[in-house]
Structure 1
């Protein structure tokens, strides 16, 4: 039986930041450390800037990305750069951040992406696992992380038991490395942050039943992992 997500309407970045920080504090109290995965893009910036000032023993927190574009870390589209600029400041500067790679390969192919994903999986192998909290966003096509419906790599990313897989979106620039569906569902808590009427409509449609054409529905319609949905 599916467990419906817990919804928080009219959510603010400050309220979501407090919720995440509390979950991380509880993890540190119980296990001596905490792990957090965050999404990129412009939407989480306000959350990052609220979260980084939360009173928390940040030196005991490991931060990774939910997904990353295969671009240099100084590229405008780099989620690594975004997190370093907007989250890993103030108190959160003490957190341990583990990017998926140091430098992207100069040319990409399926073989090269396989190797890059394997190296990234090795990086994650020794991290605190499962994740305590993974913060997700959602596109109007219902993709979450870089699980773009129907894209090259998508079928593998929702089927493999590896933590990371590559996806090459048909509808967005840059090849990606993404946490897989199994890695997300292994987390102790999933947080979905959405804003806007169009995304809210997609969310309600996806919450009705799981279907691969709506990847976020695979997160919403399951009983393995608690999901909270923060609706701005």
Structure 2
């Protein structure tokens, strides 16, 4: 079973849907792709619905694959009024809804606590510049302003980091 770490609140047939992208890659290989974000307009309710649905899956995940976006965002956790809930909310919370500060499309993401429960974590970065940013954020740890640094501060499993040049 493959679940995106985050997904935009868009219909499943929208090209921006992470579940759609994963389905196009893995359904033909026999995988089950479980959409994270239900088709719901209220992002808080969508986050609660995703949280409830993930509680019915086999948890914790065997692998969480992370990337890193602008400002050290990861798994859709980015600057927003809801960022602290995703990073430091109740540890039993698996998913939350977020409305990015930049006014972009609302989304649902798994929480830092959910990421930290994974048996294995891997990070895929694009370019040496992102590797330098990640190294700096890891060094800052819990004091990092970036979500990726704060996630790394609480990880207890070894992490594989891959840099694509």
Which one of the candidate residues 31, 39, 51 is aligned to 1:95? 31
Cα deviation for residue 115 of structure 1 reads 1.8
| TM-score when normalising by structure 2 | 0.89
Name the residue aligned to 1:140.
70
Which one of the candidate residues 90, 100, 111 is aligned to 1:169? 100
Report if aligned partners of 1:140, 1:202 keep a CA contact under 8 Å in 2. no
Report if aligned partners of 2:121, 2:158 keep a CA contact under 8 Å in 1. yes
CA-based RMSD: 1.7
Report if aligned partners of 2:97, 2:108 keep a CA contact under 8 Å in 1. yes
CA distance in 1, matches of 2:128, 2:162: 13
Report if aligned partners of 2:26, 2:33 keep a CA contact under 8 Å in 1. no
Cα deviation for residue 223 of structure 1 reads 4.9
Name the residue aligned to 1:188.
119
CA distance in 2, matches of 1:118, 1:102: 10
Cα deviation for residue 102 of structure 1 reads 4.4
List alignment gaps of at least 5 residues for structure 2. none
Report runs of 4+ in structure 1 exceeding 3 Å deviation: none
Name the residue aligned to 1:108.
none
Aligned partner of residue 40 in structure 2, secondary structure: coil
Q: 1:195 and 1:81, CA in 2 relative to 1: closer, same or farther beyond 3 A?
A: same
| TM-score when normalising by structure 1 | 0.65
Aligned length: 161
Q: Deviations over 1:139-176 (max 9, x none)?
A: 13100001103x12101111122100111112472111
Report if aligned partners of 2:73, 2:146 keep a CA contact under 8 Å in 1. yes
Cα deviation for residue 69 of structure 1 reads 0.4
Name the residue aligned to 2:44.
114
Name the residue aligned to 1:227.
159
Q: Deviations over 1:99-135 (max 9, x none)?
A: 1244233xxxxxx322221111111112111111000
Report if aligned partners of 2:37, 2:107 keep a CA contact under 8 Å in 1. no
List alignment gaps of at least 5 residues for structure 1. 1-61, 106-111
CA distance in 1, matches of 2:49, 2:155: 31
Name the residue aligned to 1:202.
133
**Deviation larger for 175-184 or 221-230:** 221-230
Name the residue aligned to 1:128.
58
> Which one has the largest radius of gyration?
1
Aligned partner of residue 88 in structure 1, secondary structure: helix
Cα deviation for residue 178 of structure 1 reads 0.2
Report if aligned partners of 1:188, 1:226 keep a CA contact under 8 Å in 2. no
